[in-house]
Amino acid sequence: MLAVMMVLAMLGLLYRYFFLQVVQNEEYRAQSDRNRIAVRTVAPTRGVIVDRSGNLLAVNTPSFTLAITPERADDLDAVLTSLRDLLGLSETDIELFTEARKRRRPLSPVPLKYRLTDEELAVIAVNKHVLSGVSVLSELTRHYPEGDLLGHALGYVGRIGIDDIDASEKDAYRGISHIGKVGLEAYYEDALKGRLGVSRIETNARGVELKVIDRIEPVPGAHLTLHLDVGLQRVATSAMGNMRGAVVAMDPKTGGVLSSVSNPRYDPNKFVNGISFSDYAGLRDSRDAPLLNRVIQGQYPPASTIKPMLGLAGLNREVITIDTVVPDPGYYQLPGDPRRYRDWILRVRGTGHAEEMNLRDSIAQSCDVYFYELANRLGIDAIAESLDVFGIGSLTGVDLPSEKRGILPSTEWKRRVIGSNWYGGETLIVGIGQGYMLATPMQLAVATTALATRGTAFKPSLVAAVDGTPVQPEALLTVSAAAEYWDEVFAGMVDTVSSARGTAFGMRSGLAYDVAGKTGTAQVVAIAQDATYDEESLTEYQRNHGWFIAFAPVENPEIVVAVLTENSGGGSSAYPVARAMLDYWMSRDE
């Protein structure tokens, strides 16, 4: 009996050995490999961004990163507490570290603090014996060489937060610590981030890396070449000085954005590895709103900049002709309405621009009375239809996130949004670009492009090429009009700069090329019927905005410019900025 039992036991043991070694060989071999071999994701290098001349705008620079491998830390909480005391870690650092742990593979180091200084490296080295699981990694981190010059256009990358990616994207971001937050960095995130690589590493029982078994290299992010010109950007920024506002310059032949300035600015480098609470609060709570990209998010009454477009609409709809004249006593009245709608010139001269005004002179001298009459003849819905073809009140589709569309009012819009009927007096106010109407500087740059090209505008784009492949211009809008109508509008815009009575005559001195332009003064606060605008009695933020749109040279435009200066008093503050930019651009080949 004992012998039989021993034989049965041996048979059972042999069967178990056979089952483990033969039947389940592959399964246990795989488990063994998982214990012996660690799979590491290899982060790709983020794509570089350069301007049209190859100047570096967004690069990756070497830096040292503090990381912790949680499985190797004897007491993770104690290690974090020690590091907080030694390096002054913030609660944000700890929160982002905790979030990053959820996206990493076992035995992978988790970044805690980036861009360690020499002093911080020394502190870690001295205390290494009590910081189990802590390591210092040599990595690439994002850097913006031009600082705040292109902050709003480029945007910035930041450490991945809880709400930055959803569950479906977690695998794509394993091993990647930063993501595009705003600007081009966010809009082109998929192209810039590249694709992860994988490395298989042999480890011992304690997880110590012994050798690399094999590696699939990551695919680096795409290289972006922009239409932006750093030189033109510097000129625009310098000309704006401390004024709040925005500047857009475009190539009318392609829709390429040559310059994009929003004042005040911010330095994107501060956001890359986590901005301090005090610095962020200063930006967030500032009344000057430095985080707002005024180019695409600032919405302002376009004022007299729409007059060339309305003049073209009046000619197209045959409510006026090139020879139509309107009496100008300095104010306008609707039939049966005692209210006087004043022209800005009344405050200056006490009378109108002249006894009678035609379209050309009314554009050049920015005669409100003429455009009150034109608006009354057109009616609000015809005005809305006419400005809609120029893109007012519509998204331009520029390759930046969070663009605003502005407001193009109509009878239907007011009934839907405000819940009341439209009144004739409101039509007059819209006729000079005031009232409910709002536009962004980018919209006016596109509309000016349509004027400059006699009817065609491309979708604005900051990116000219992705990995050397050109981005093809995409048609955005088309405006049709007879050649003589374009000629008349152009003549008025040229006179704005060249005529002695033009509202931008102050920029004429020394011009070596032809410019067509239009000033605008956007009222910020309402002025009572019998009151006058007194800038000295208003606070800074109640003063008028200034606009200037322009293109040059007139016959074959190479550049379109739209300038907004907030609370500057009027268009006379905006055209010097445009002049500086035009001078630079027109002389760049000399």
As annotated, the active-site residues are: 304
* C-alpha–C-alpha distance, residues 273 and 42, integer Å: 20
* C-alpha–C-alpha distance, residues 390 and 536, integer Å: 36
Which neighbouring-strand residues pair with 407?
A: 438
Burial 418-435 (b: 16+ CB within 10 A, else e): eeeebeeebbbbbbbbbb
Extended beta strands in 34-177, E state: 37-42, 49-50, 56-68, 110-113, 134-143, 156-159
The amino acid sitting at 441 is P
Q: Residue 512 has which token pair?
A: 């070596």
Helices (H), 155-256: 183-187, 189-193, 230-240
DSSP 84: H
Extended beta strands in 453-536, E state: 456-458, 463-466, 469-470, 475-478, 516-522
Long-range residue pairs from 384-390, CB within 8 A, at least 24 positions apart, any chain: 384/408, 384/409, 384/410, 384/413, 386/309, 386/310, 386/312, 386/313, 386/316, 386/317, 387/306, 387/309, 387/310, 387/313, 389/477, 389/478, 389/479, 390/309, 390/446, 390/447, 390/450, 390/477, 390/479
Secondary structure class of 98 (helix, strand, coil): helix
* C-alpha–C-alpha distance, residues 325 and 393, integer Å: 30
Place of tokens 């193009």: 408
* C-alpha–C-alpha distance, residues 144 and 161, integer Å: 21
Q: Residue 395 has which token pair?
A: 């998204």
Q: Is the dihedral of CA 528, 529, 532, 533 positive or negative?
A: positive
* C-alpha–C-alpha distance, residues 368 and 346, integer Å: 10
Between vectors from CA 60 to CA 56 and to CA 62, what angle results, nearest 5°? 130
Distances (CA, A) of 345 to 167, 328, 329, 367, 514: 61, 10, 10, 8, 26
* C-alpha–C-alpha distance, residues 236 and 580, integer Å: 7
